[in-house]
Amino acid sequence: LVLVLDFGGQYNQLIARRIRELSVYCEMVPYDISLDDLKAKMPSAIIMTGGPASVHGEGAPHCDPRIFTLGIPILGICYGMHLLAQELGGQVKPSQVREYGRTNMELVDDDILFNDIIGPTQVWMSHSDSVVTIPEGFRVIARTGNCPVAAFSHSQQKIYGVQFHPEVKHSLKGMQVLHNFLFTICGLKGDWDLNDFIAESIDEVRRQVGDRKVLCGLSGGVDSSVAAALVHKAVGDQLVCVYVDNGLMRKGESEQVLKTFKDNMHMNLVFADAGARFLSKLAGVTDPERKRKIIGAEFIRVFEEEARKLGEIDFLVQGTIYPDIVESGTKTAHTIKSHHNVGGLPEDMQFELVEPLKLLFKDEVREIGEKLGLAEEIVWRQPFPGPGLGVRVLEEVTAEKVHILQEADYIVREEIKKAGLDREVWQYFAVLPPMRSVGVMGDGRTYAYPIIIRAVSSDDAMTAEWAQLPYEVLDIMARRIVNEVQGVNRVAYDITSKPPGTIEWE
Ligand code: XMP
């Protein structure tokens, strides 16, 4: 196990990600973890992350300094390096020139940390403080034009500090540095894999749950689906899943969920067919926020009704994943978000949570889904808003509009898949705006809705670029939608990025 002490840096999740890419298991813990808790985890190595603070700043985060005397190899990155330097008797000062971005680093002394790296090498810097005096017994092993101590080492004590960010791809040999630290210096093997993880999680869920009953609100999304499949492997029919069909799902989606979980995996699945209820609540409502609130509240009501029918339930499965828990920027305690995959459940429903994916990243969750035999459509599902098509039918939601949108959206998805773009484009869907216009079809005049196609590329949905889909793909989508979907006479393509647009229209 490698422990990553989180000092709030923006790349912290990336550090954990990179270590796992080297098949080494790691966990991120708050920087102020107690010495006893840290020792109990018996880490083979410790990595101290970067962070926004200055070691001289008021309330600067410090870890227990006794950690440095345990004989566990340590790598401090950026702020982590400054803290090491300061605590061990060196000196840190504000740099004359703030270094930000790519820079070349010279290696000034041989060290195993830089095995198989030939200098100068490009690294990624982002700092305003620098180490000016190294602690006694340490050596300077690298420098850049503006930073005389870009890396230091104490090879007997196996304590290392780097000013640059090895986890960022722009540090071209960053992975090699992590590799050298973990394998050559710490002697780790790189033998962690997701099969072990699955086996361990199954044991853990069994221990936690015993012979009691577990409930899971299944949305058909990747995280809740994989969590349910894993818990089912552990406790079989003690798990009951509730799937609420709010009538605002995409075409074929509810059938897919039923087929996967009920027919293929033989799971206990309660299917709440509540479309009519949702639509009647939404009648006449045009404001998007009101629509969201109504859908959210109705969801809880249906879920609660179904759960009550099942009698006493002790546990609730949540598809919380690692990025939901760890957020860079602040102390862990402040940033744990309460993620409620089943919406804010009423407080009188007391469950203990089962969160088998809480240490995994999205791509690891997908890999586990595949290993557990979940359908590809579920494992690789694109993000989809909780309120479903209720968001993408603008203004009032009616059964007719939902039907039009489902059909058009299905064609968009089908053509993207045919073109082999389904794993490349982050999100792709159809939107139904609330107006009609004149067109001509055959020899007659039409007065019908347009469909807007939206497709974006993105890494995290925070920003997005409109996807430059090939004209041929857009052309065939447009022809098919107008020909096959009753009530549509026009197709437009949204070429707005985010910002200033959002991904969804609502
Ligand atoms: P916007 O439209 O704000 O969307 O650019 C950003 C991302 O969030 C998704 N989205 C949601 N996901 N529940 C979700 O789980 C929601 O209510 C919701 N609303 C938007 C959206 O699809 C995009 O990926």
Distance 265 CA to ligand 1 centre (A): 29
Q: CB neighbours of 453 closer than 8 A, spacing ≥ 6? A: 412, 428, 429, 430, 431, 474, 477, 478, 491, 492, 493, 494
Give me the domain span that covers residue 444: 398-493
Asked if residue 319 and residue 246 are part of one domain, the reply reads: yes
Asked if residue 408 and residue 447 are part of one domain, the reply reads: yes
| Residue 33, amino acid | I
Q: Is 167 noted as a catalytic residue in this protein?
A: yes
pLDDT for the residue numbered 347: 60
Distance 359 CA to ligand 1 centre (A): 23
Question: What ranges make up the beta strands (E) of 111-164?
Answer: 121-133, 139-144, 147-154, 159-162
Q: Do residues 107 and 79 touch, judged by C-beta distance below 8 A?
A: no
For the Cβ of 498 lying below 6 angstroms from any atom of ligand 1, the answer is yes
For the Cβ of 385 lying below 6 angstroms from any atom of ligand 1, the answer is yes
Domain termination site, one of 155, 185, 215? 185
For the Cβ of 383 lying below 6 angstroms from any atom of ligand 1, the answer is yes
Q: Is 327 noted as a catalytic residue in this protein?
A: no
Q: For strands 488-493 and 444-457, give the pairing.
A: parallel
For the Cβ of 339 lying below 6 angstroms from any atom of ligand 1, the answer is no
User: How far, in Å, CA of 303 to CA of 290, rounded?
Assistant: 20
Q: Which of 15, 1, 26, 44 is nearest to 166 (CA)?
A: 15
Average pLDDT score over the chain: 92
For the whole model, what pTM was predicted?
0.78
Distance 388 CA to ligand 1 centre (A): 10
For the Cβ of 390 lying below 6 angstroms from any atom of ligand 1, the answer is no
User: How far, in Å, CA of 7 to CA of 339, rounded?
Assistant: 23
For the complex shown, is ipTM > 0.95? yes
For the Cβ of 504 lying below 6 angstroms from any atom of ligand 1, the answer is yes
Asked if residue 246 and residue 147 are part of one domain, the reply reads: no
Asked if residue 318 and residue 173 are part of one domain, the reply reads: no
Residue 449 has pLDDT above 60, yes or no: yes
Asked if residue 342 and residue 211 are part of one domain, the reply reads: yes
Residue 402 has pLDDT above 80, yes or no: yes
Q: For strands 214-218 and 437-441, give the pairing.
A: unpaired
Residue 99 has pLDDT above 90, yes or no: no
| 385 within domain boundaries | no
pLDDT for the residue numbered 348: 62
Asked if residue 403 and residue 280 are part of one domain, the reply reads: no
| 299 within domain boundaries | yes
Distance 413 CA to ligand 1 centre (A): 18
Distance 385 CA to ligand 1 centre (A): 5
Quickly state the pLDDT bin for 395 (edges 50, 70, 90).
very high
Residue 337 has pLDDT above 50, yes or no: no
Which of the residues 99, 154, 167, 306 is marked catalytic? 167
491, β-bridge pairs = 451
Q: Was 221 annotated as part of a binding site?
A: yes
User: How far, in Å, CA of 319 to CA of 314, rounded?
Assistant: 17
More confident residue, 196 or 208: 208
Q: Which of 384, 393, 457 has most ligand 1 atoms within 8 Å of CB, for mutation?
A: 384
Q: CB neighbours of 419 closer than 8 A, spacing ≥ 6? A: 469, 470, 473
pLDDT for the residue numbered 332: 37
pLDDT for the residue numbered 14: 87
Mean pLDDT of 318-345: 52
The CA distances from residue 504 to 377, 389, 392, 461, 500, in Å, are 21, 10, 7, 10, 12
Asked if residue 468 and residue 362 are part of one domain, the reply reads: no
pLDDT for the residue numbered 343: 45
Q: Above pLDDT 70, what percent of the chain?
A: 95
For the Cβ of 148 lying below 6 angstroms from any atom of ligand 1, the answer is no
Asked if residue 176 and residue 248 are part of one domain, the reply reads: no
Longest dimension (CA), the chain: 89
Q: Do residues 30 and 6 touch, judged by C-beta distance below 8 A?
A: yes
Domain termination site, one of 151, 167, 185? 185
Asked if residue 219 and residue 92 are part of one domain, the reply reads: no
Say how many C-beta atoms besides its own lie within 10 A of residue 437's C-beta.
Answer: 12
Q: Is 358 exposed, middle or buried (0-12, 13-18, 19+ CB in 10 A)?
A: middle
pLDDT per residue as tens digits for the range 50-81: 999 999 999 999 999 999 999 999 999 999 99
Residue 430 has pLDDT above 90, yes or no: yes
Q: Is 39 exposed, middle or buried (0-12, 13-18, 19+ CB in 10 A)?
A: middle
pLDDT per residue as tens digits for the range 210-265: 999 999 999 999 999 999 999 999 999 999 999 999 999 999 999 999 999 999 99
Residue 340 has pLDDT above 80, yes or no: no
Tell me phi and psi for residue 504, to 5 degrees.
-80, 160
CATH number at residue 14: 3.40.50.880
For the Cβ of 427 lying below 6 angstroms from any atom of ligand 1, the answer is yes
Pure H helices in 236-285: 253-257, 275-282
pLDDT for the residue numbered 342: 43
Question: What ranges make up the beta strands (E) of 268-351?
Answer: 268-273, 315-317
pLDDT for the residue numbered 130: 96
Asked if residue 136 and residue 37 are part of one domain, the reply reads: yes
Which of the residues 82, 127, 154, 165 is marked catalytic? 165
Distance 393 CA to ligand 1 centre (A): 15
Helix, coil or strand: residue 278:
helix
For the Cβ of 27 lying below 6 angstroms from any atom of ligand 1, the answer is no
Helix, coil or strand: residue 413:
helix
Asked if residue 336 and residue 246 are part of one domain, the reply reads: yes
Domain termination site, one of 312, 344, 379? 379
Q: Which of 504, 505, 506 has most ligand 1 atoms within 8 Å of CB, for mutation?
A: 504
Ligand 1 atom with least separation from CA of 506 = 2
pLDDT for the residue numbered 115: 97
Q: Was 231 annotated as part of a binding site?
A: no
Helix, coil or strand: residue 121:
strand
| Residue 41, amino acid | K
| 73 within domain boundaries | yes
CATH number at residue 290: 3.40.50.620
| Conformation bin of residue 217: beta by default, left when phi > 0, alpha when psi is -120 to 50 | beta
| 502 within domain boundaries | no
Asked if residue 159 and residue 25 are part of one domain, the reply reads: yes
| 423 within domain boundaries | yes
pLDDT for the residue numbered 456: 97
| 504 within domain boundaries | no
Number of domains in the chain: 3
Q: Is 28 exposed, middle or buried (0-12, 13-18, 19+ CB in 10 A)?
A: buried
CATH number at residue 415: 3.30.300.10
> Tokens 């990336």 map to which residue?
14
| 125 within domain boundaries | yes
> Tokens 């949108």 map to which residue?
405
Q: Was 457 annotated as part of a binding site?
A: no
| 391 within domain boundaries | no
Q: Which of 189, 252, 230 is nearest to 2 (CA)?
A: 189
Packing angle between helix 288-309 and helix 275-282, nearest 10 degrees? Answer: 150
Mean pLDDT of 351-374: 92
Q: For strands 159-162 and 147-154, give the pairing.
A: antiparallel
Residue 330 has pLDDT above 80, yes or no: no
